[in-house]
Structure 1
């Protein structure tokens, strides 16, 4: 603590000082000049020195003060001086100017103050952490008292002058510094130097970190145990990591793969904290942070780009364009994205715009400068990336493009239309050609009809191919005969909807229709099958016509036409006989008349006639085939039908009927019927058969059948020379008639006779056949040997039986062996089934064999087939 030597501001001492030192009174209005010395300027009372009270004499209050020495401590209004803000020792002068008063010859006076040197008071502690890089030595003073004068110099312990702000980075320890201010002679005992001790502490080092950028979509298996120390340098080794996946104070490895799988893309923040040593409570802990950003690639596969909108060439100057992308299979997060796209064409280029994805859709503008002429322009998306993305991943974009069309207007310049000549009330085909400026496609035209017919603003759709097309003028616009002018005024492309004006003309000639009012038709009554002639009159001066008609009534037809030259205003034609298949009243109705010279036609009204087709007897009905037995001696009288209106003939052309006593023989006869109108019917032919039936003859080996085929009586019949007429009995005399579906029995005898169901004639002799059911062709049937059975008495699979073997191999034999080769059973078709017991012939008695596997050998004894071995499992 610096000792205070002088305090001239104490009031009592101050007045004593005034009596000791006489004052020079020169200006009573401003008081007398005065001078004082203050050595202990740091005394708190010197923070507020009233200069007015220091003036001698009787100064007039209310004047102003000026700081002549620029000490900066004076309040010019109040005359109060703050000595603590004066930054150096020395002498300072202050002038008081009194208010103007009558009789004053001098209204100013001065106060001169000498201030002693003051090096300051050192603080109890001067400590600093070296992470501050620099340290101001003035901060080593006690801040509760007056700060030292600023005009001194600093020296270190080696006596070297140093700046007041010293570098401290990288150093630590206790350092001594001396602050010395200039001596003021008026205060020789004032101390001018002060020593300070500065303790510099080492700051903990948290190191320099680097951020890490990864793409999670590329796989993070290499980062499943990532060492965060790879991202830091220059740190104290005793620090600790904190952040997602850090499990302890010593842990510095994180599983980025698991973090990404659990939390998805994002920023993962980590901090490394270096801790001060326990004895150092000056330096705070230091923390360095880093961010590991894991991003996810976006997949735009299946996304759709729509560029809007196509325009016509006349809209180029005012058109605006935009693109709209709709997400594909993968959902795209909402947010701001940069869309980079390329536009093809003469003015094409690449552009990047910023827009927002909202609920899977992003819309963005496309500059109109790309589309300044007719053509198809491809807009292809090159890249889409979120503006917040750091670019770790490459987003998948495949074929995300759309075409924008600037369509040409449809031009009919140079085109020609030629309307085809038509008839009154008929449509007309207009041919369009030489439309070389029209692309192939569909168009809508607007046209006018003027002249003998008049209609404006009519429309038609045309399909242009190679500059050619056609359209139809409806019949309703051609109601008057004469000439009309067809003018196309407008054309629209139905695909592009681009429209253009036109002025293409063509002349249309319309021919008059035939006069239908005088047309008549007459048809006379006829007999059935006679030619039917129709006469059409009232045709005037027509020379060649096509007449259309239909038939109704007893005979009806679809529309019929005849084309004939006209003679004296009339035509005659025969109605085709195939249209007149019924008798009775028939109406012929004329429907249309065509002038073949002009092709003009008219529909006919009330042009009809009714005529009668008289019936003729139909061919009589008779049994087509009439059969007699030869011994019956049948004659014409025995034929059916009979009666006065029926006659029999022995040929279709014969006109002489056969007598009733004519003896029948196997030949054809013809029957006719004559009507009351003396019309003869067509002949009906019947066949007469006079049978003399022999006994049936059996085909070679016809008695042999395969029992597996379940042969029937019908199969036995098919093995005779008369399969359709033979019948069978189970006895030669008084036997039962067997149905064709009856199954044959092995070794049974059957008796067959030839019996015609038409003539009912039977053969006198009988065919006797004894049937054998073992003649099976083994190649036609699958052969199956079971591999197990269960003889437990439940009537299900109780025996080992080879199905159908007796039919396929009637001479077969079978032997069953146990595993020691002992024969347990011998069988054949007479003893086919093994019931799981020892055969008495085996020598083992008639006992029940145990469950297990047994072996068999089958000898087929047919077709040189080799014996077959196998095994069978017995399980009760």
Structure 2
């Protein structure tokens, strides 16, 4: 709203719409009802509207006012209405009640006031930082003029949307225009004010992800922590600060820290690193985010001990009190206050957390006796112990930290029953107690007496009772005589609680006599190691079902072994298990015990033994995997080791040994060795690999050369796929190895074999190459035609020959004429040299050409090259 518009409204509305309308006359004491419209709210007169003056001259002063609609603008004591205090435009009523002592029957009057809308005066421009989050548009008013009323409507002129007074500027940036409009009411028109808001983007230092680490679990994954990885939604361009002075940030812009080093040098604790992003405008402050790193050390309660004090008898339940003492293990536990979590088993059990102090490795806390109101075993289990200041980054090591508290019943052997064991003379008697249903599980000492075949008094033994059952032993010394002994238990005492009670439980022991071993004899034959060892025993007398015990000493040793025998005519045999005889050499079998299985009575045996020899089995041969070349046609005779004592097989079953001429293959072979005593060793396995090197391959036209180049074996090698490893022979088998400098001969055949340095093998197949030395390009190879010769037989220049022409022009012909044009000689590659004889006229070797000048014609017979002619001089 412009300044002129505000002035116009204030003048026009105040003088035109400030009017009073009389209403129905209710009474003379309170005056008459009235109405009022106030449109110019900012006008100073709007603050002091006297409602009493609107009631007419008949109103009796001294009455009371009520603000019927709680507008908040009326002074109830003075009747003065301040329209500027009313926060919403609307129609309000105010009731005046005259004094009650005026004798009027109807002493109230109502003033109805219409409050027009006022949209306020905005500041010229408002700057807001986006970091405030929500901004109340009413803050855009200047705060000097009258505040706007609250029941108008805001409109975002920039986005053309109606909005609430509180807007979220978090993601806004730039200049925005908002218009606040108060609606028309009654005769008061609508009013609008426009606010110009500039939203500046705040710097974003990000949202921290604090790091809680258990240093005891290892910090190797945090030796190069990028602090930027612990914040999100941040702006670039900020700097990190080491709030804890760890020394990890060493230069401006550094943002990597070594947490492992922090812990190693400074220990556990809280460490802070702040990221500060500067603001690029004066409206928003710098933004700072702090990343907190908490390092804790795991507490180790391994081998710690918990003790609940203390076990009681059932008659002490009502008066007992308890405590738990925890003593630390080898690991140090700092003094301080800790939370202790524990559970208690039993019908009244539960879980609890208490606070207690560790002092010099010991923590003690009381535990309620309500947990232990019955007879039984109650387990108190410590589930966790943590410092009250811990953030629980570590799971402390507790392991099995518990103790049982036992409430013992008084021992009671009523209705208990003892069985009647049948034993042998001089043997312990194991007695089973049952039906002791009144006896709680536990350990007890009993007192008993023996009478009958044997006698003893006040014997004490310890029993463990489980489910009304227990077992105890009457020692052999009390069973020296055969017959029937009577046992009677007279007292029982709980070992742990020392609770004791009398008893009267009777039982019997049947005692059988021991067998006789004096006639026993043992015989064992010597055998080869690995063969069955049979022991022959005689002298059993009339025993027909026995068990003997024996030991082995010497090269082989054993504990006590047993075997059941059925003697016939006093004799029996058995085979000594091979597992007891792992070594060769001399061993002795000693019979140590004889048992009569009919009575289960046994006796120790002395002096019954025999020695025997187990011939040694040779060790498996020491062998290695072997590799052969296919070209060598190797046989079993080539395998190592080799000799008459060795046998080779190609099957692990060792069915049939291989003959020496057996051609080796790529497969597994097995070898044994036989000792002088005829003992065969276990087999050793090797893997034989037959290596076949591929024959070399010749490149296309690789056998064609030009004889003018004097090609050698090396040139032939270079025309193969393996020039460095191929070797050449002059025959496919039994040939001579040719050196790399050997000159190639036209139409000769050469045989190439590839050689593998890795396998040290030649190829089984060969490459046969028949060489051609005619592959010459004439322009590339010029030749020389001599102009004379001297056929005098001195071995120097004795013939006329055009050297190497046969390589360039293999089909050439040469004609020589004398000066009269008569033919003297005709030659070609098969007859290349003229020796100065007249072959044309006199036949072969006929006619000697005289000294002088001769003429030649050379026909190339290739590439349409025309013949050439020249002259030469013959001088003998």
Taking structure 2 as the reference length, the TM-score comes to 0.43
Which structure has the greater CA radius of gyration?
1
